[in-house]
Amino acid sequence: MFGFDYLHENFLPQSKRKFGTFVHPILYGDRLIGRADLRMDRKNEKLLVNSVHAERGAPGDKEVSSEIRQTI
């Protein structure tokens, strides 16, 4: 959908995961430009970012990276 392939990898063996356990798409404007593997540390009440992956053709400037970081 929207040119974005998504597979819920939570139930795959770790060796077969491409992006992570709980990957969420990153929406920037009207485009899906990446995905982030997020995990909630409930004990410390913090959202942890395990990894971030850019999609092909995603903007790569520091302004976009900064906006995504601030939003997360």
Whole-structure pTM value: 0.77
DSSP assignment string, 1-64:
-TT-----GGGS-GGG-SS-SSEEEEEETTEEEEEEEEEEETTTTEEEEEEEEEPTT---SHHH
| pLDDT value for 1 | 58
User: Buried b / exposed e across 43-56, counting CB within 10 Å, b at 16+?
Assistant: eeeeeeeeebeebe
Q: What is the pLDDT along the chain (72 residues), one digit of tens a residue?
A: 567 777 788 888 989 989 888 888 999 988 899 999 999 999 999 999 999 999 988 998 899 989 988 988
| pLDDT value for 7 | 78
Amino acid (one-letter) located at 4: F
| pLDDT value for 8 | 81
